[in-house]
Structure formats: C-alpha cells, structure tokens
Amino acid sequence: MDDIDLPRPKGDAASKLATEDLSPYSQDELTERIALLETEIARVKAHRDKASAHRAAADALFGKSSQ
C-alpha cells in the first residue's frame, strides 16, 4: 500500500495551534507568529492552486469533468 493511501492522522498541526495558550506570548512574538502563519497560508494556497491547475489539465487531457 502506498503512503498516499494511508489515512491522515487526526489532530493536524492547525488544530493543535488553535488550542495553544497564547497568553505567554508578547506583542512582538504574536506579531511574528501572525507573519509566519500568513506565510504558511500563502504557501498552502499556492499548493492548492497548483494542484487544481494540474487536475484541470489532467481532466482536459483525459476528457473528465472536474468536481
């Protein structure tokens, strides 16, 4: 069985971040954290868009409609 067929583990990183206590962080640390998260969001969106374009190209090539 390929790794891609394995179920994803529960409790992904985003879920864990959402439950973290932010009270120990300073204003500067929170600002830095926001910047890091915004960079990660941009990276995930870019990957999603690339995967979507790849899927659309495959669907066009093989004549399948995308969903």
- How many domains does one find in the chain? 1
Rounded to the nearest 10°, the torsion over CA 49, 50, 53, 59 is -120
**Beta carbons of 21 and 29 less than 8 angstroms apart:** no
Say whether 64 sits in a helix, a strand or coil: coil
Query: How confident is the model at residue 61, as a pLDDT?
Result: 85
For tokens 């960079």, the residue is: 39
**Beta carbons of 36 and 44 less than 8 angstroms apart:** no
Predicted TM-score (pTM) of this structure? 0.65
**pLDDT above 80 (res 9):** no
Query: Is 16 part of a structural domain of the chain?
Result: no
Domain membership of residue 51 as a residue range:
26-60
Rounded to the nearest 10°, the torsion over CA 6, 46, 60, 4 is -10
pLDDT digits (tens, 9 = 90+) for 15-67: 889 999 999 999 999 999 999 999 999 999 999 999 999 998 888 888 875 45
